[in-house]
Structure formats: structure tokens, C-alpha cells
Amino acid sequence: MDELRVEELERLKHRVRELEAENKVLRRRCRNLYWGEGRAARSVSKNLESEQDVESGVQESRVVLDKEMQMRSIFQAMQDVVLVLDADLQEIEVIPTHPMMFAHPQWDIVNQTLELFWDGDQTEIFRSQIERSLARQYPVTFEYSVRQGNRDLWFTSHISPISKNSVVWVAREITDRKEAELRLQNIREQLEMIVEQRTGALQRLNAELEQRLQERTAQLQEVNEQLRQEIGDRHHAQEELRRSKQLLQLVMDNSPQFIVWKDLNSMYLGCNRNFAQLAGLSTPEEIVGKTDYDLFWTRDEADGYRLGDRRVMNRNHPEYHRIETKLKEDGTRSWIDTNTIPLHDAKDQVVGILRTYENVTERKQIEEQLRLTHFTLNRLGDIVVLMSTEAQLFYVNDSACRTLGYEQSELLNLKFYQIDLKG
């Protein structure tokens, strides 16, 4: 904006110079015209020349008048105070501009401005600015204020030299801008005060937060130490549990029984090595997630196993020594001793079953043979008594009991030499 004002002043200065030159030419020609009219009474030929000069002067006057009107229009369109001053402030020419363009009466502003040139706090400032512009022959810009009632009106002044001893002073009112700057400065100061207050509050809050952070850090360190201890204890417990599981698995794998355990849906959770081999699996881990339908049992056998699982879980009562018989492909029969036990969680809720199988075919066969032997011996008429090397009776037949006059239970509690044979 300042560059545009400088260019405008330069154009005005140049135009003023042109008008001064044209005015000098016009005055000279007017004098010539005057003297030409005096000589017209003496010479007709000279009168004719004078008439031509007058006509030429009139035309030139019209041109000058047009230019003056143009300059007047330019100045009337301006809203600035325009003065032409000499270095000593002795000659001051006020260039009239459009008074309606001012927010305040123009001549009040002009008069107050002129008063500052001769008597005021800013007189020396005005003079020094004019002298600086003339000395440098270069435009100078500065700001000043004029008191209008209870309000200061601010102006920005552009001083441009038009000769070695005179300048053009163009002042434009910038009160609104200065007041806006003042309001902005007040706002800035208020913001700085708020920022300072907030900064103090933030510093205090930061100190409090720092204290809380230190306390919280100490608490977290304590909790962290407890967690490390608990993690160490848990790792130790997990290691002990792993060892216990390994030991339990080792015991089960070396047990002659077939052991399995299932969840509430009769899905296998694990087994020992004997059952894995029986089910055709390479390792006990392969049975996890399988059901009886996934093994080599028949459909009816699988249904029976699952029905037994459900019965034990629903009743929450174990079933011990349930003897099951199986007919082998070679036509021989085998006996299986089954134990089914419900499994409970920490809340004593049933979560599955544990089942053990034991092949008792050999034992059943021995028991059958003993039963047949007892039957045969009891049918004999002779006394049959079996005793140990210490003479402890462990078998007597019915004939021995009748003959000796004892109950079988009484004889089995005696040694042979304790029997009263006389009776």
C-alpha cells in the first residue's frame, strides 16, 4: 500500500511541475497578447499576426483550463490532506481535496495540522522530516496524531520533494487502523497475561503431577516387584505341575490298566499309553478331541460307553468293578473290569469322567477253575484238608466239617494241631 502511495505522489509531483511550466508559458503569452493589442492601431499586418497569436493563446488557455479541471477532479477525488511547503515553512499552499471523504471536517484537520508546524510538540519532528526529504531528495514517510475533541486522529504522512526548497505533504487518516492496532495490542497484552497466569497454573499443576507421578511410579515399582515374585512363584508352580503331570502320566503309562478321561460331552481329554495302543494311536496325545465314534468300537459299543458316561455324570456317583464281557473273533470270551468315576472342579461341579479298564480274564478263569474244584471236592465223601507249611488251614471240604463237627469258618481260623479230633 505504501509503495502505491509513493507512486501516486510521484505522479502528482510531476503533474504539478508540468502545470507550473504551462502556467509560465500562458502568462508570457498573455503579456504578448496584451502588447500585441496596443500595437494593432499602428499596423494592420501586425494586428493580423496578433489576432493569430490571440487565437493560439486562447486555444492554449483552453488546454491549460482542461488540465486544471482534470487536476481539480483528481484532488477532489482524494481523501488526503495535500500541502505544498517550503523548507522554512513560510509558504504553505493547501491543495483542496474532497471534504466529504473525511470522517471529520476537513478544514479543522487542516488547521490543526498547520498549527503543528509552528507551535506544538511535533513541530521539530515535522521540520526534521521535511529537511530530511529535501536533503535526500527522496520521499519520507512517518506517522503523527491530531487531537480532535477527546480523540486522537492518526495520519500517515508522505513527504516528496518537488524542488530543492519545496515539498508536497500528503497525509491520510489511519485512525481506524491505529485503533485496531491498539485493540490488537490490548488483546495481545491480555493474552500474554492470560498465558502467564495459565503458565503459572500449569507449572503448579505440573509440579503436582510430577509428585503424583513419582508416587505412582513408586507404587508401580512395588506392584511390579510383587508381580515378578508372583510370576516367579507361578513359574515354579507351573514347573511343579508339569513335573506332577509327567509323573502322573508315567504312573499311568506303567499301569497295567487302560485309563481314559473325558469332558461333559464324552470327548476324550487324554489317556495312558496302554489305551492309546489299544485304540491304534501312536501317542496318548492323539486321542485329545476324539469321541468313541472316532475309535474302532462298533456303533452299539460307542453308544453304550457314552450312555454309561452320561449315567455317572447325571448321578454324580461312581460305578466300581462293572464287569463287561467281550466275545473275541476266535470264539473265546474275555472279561473287562470297568471303573467309572465323575470328575469335579474346584466348585465341586461335575466336569467329566475318569474310566479305567482292566482285563480280568485270567483271574475270572482261575476263579472258575477254583469254583469247579470246590464243587468237586465238596462232593467227595473223604475228608479233604489243605494247610500251609505252618499247619494253617486254608481249605476244608464239607465232609471234613461234618466229620470234625466244625463250621468251615471255624476250621479256617485254626491250625491243624488245634483241631479236637476226639470230639
Instruction: Break the chain into its structural domains and give their ranges.
Output: 1-77, 79-173, 188-244, 255-364, 380-418
Q: pLDDT confidence of 318, banded at 50, 70, 90? A: very high
pLDDT of res. 315? 94
280 has pLDDT over 50: yes
Least confident of 57-71, 197-211, 360-374, 384-398: 57-71
Answer whether CATH 3.30.450.20 is correct for domain 79-173: yes
Give the integer Cα–Cα distance in Å for 154 and 411. Answer: 142
Under 8 Å between Cβ of 132 and 140: yes
pLDDT at 308: 92
Answer with the residue of higher pLDDT: 307 or 173.
307
Q: Which residue has the cell 503309562?
A: 253
Q: How far is CA 102 from CA 71, 142, 293, 398, 403, in A?
A: 19, 20, 106, 151, 158
Sheet holding 151-161, edge to edge: 92-95, 81-86, 166-173, 151-161, 140-148
Alpha carbon distance 245, 241 (integer Å): 6
**CATH superfamily, with its number, for domain 255-364:** PAS domain (3.30.450.20)
Asked, colleague to colleague, whether 79-173 and 255-364 share their fold, the answer is yes
**pLDDT of 103 strictly over 50:** no
Q: Which of these, 313, 308, 309, 310, lies nearest to 349 by C-alpha position?
A: 313
Return the pLDDT at 21: 64
Task: Please spell the DSSP secondary structure of 203-218, one letter per residue.
Answer: HHHHHHHHHHHHHHHH
pLDDT digits (tens, 9 = 90+) for 196-254: 888 888 888 888 888 888 888 888 888 888 888 888 888 888 888 788 777 767 777 77
* Beta-bridge mates of residue 155: 144, 173
Q: How far apart are CA 272 and CA 265, in angstroms?
A: 20
Q: Tell me the residue length of the chain.
A: 423
Residues 6+ apart with CB under 8 A from 49: 36
Q: How far apart, in whole angstroms, are the C-alpha atoms of residue 275 and residue 338?
A: 13
Residue 141 CB-density burial (10 A; 0-12 exposed, 13-18 middle, 19+ buried):
middle
Rg of the chain, C-alpha, whole Å: 67
Q: How confident is the model at residue 352 (pLDDT cuts 50, 70, 90)?
A: very high
63: helix, strand or coil: helix
pLDDT tens readout for residues 28-73: 554 454 344 444 444 444 544 555 555 565 566 565 555 555 555 5
| Contacts by 114-120, CB closer than 8 A, 24 or more apart | 114/83, 116/144, 116/146, 117/85, 117/89, 117/92, 118/89
Asked if 303 and 310 count as a contact pair (C-beta separation under 8 A), the reply is no
Give the global pTM: 0.40
Write the Ramachandran bin of 221: left for phi over 0, alpha for psi from -120 to 50, otherwise beta: alpha
More confident residue, 368 or 142: 142
Give me the long-range contacts of 217-225 (CB less than 8 A, separation at least 24): none
Q: Give me the mean pLDDT over the 155-160 stretch.
A: 86
pLDDT at 65: 55
| Residue (of 80, 62, 52, 72) closest to 26 by Cα position | 62
Kindly tell me if the per-residue pLDDT of 344 is higher than 60. yes
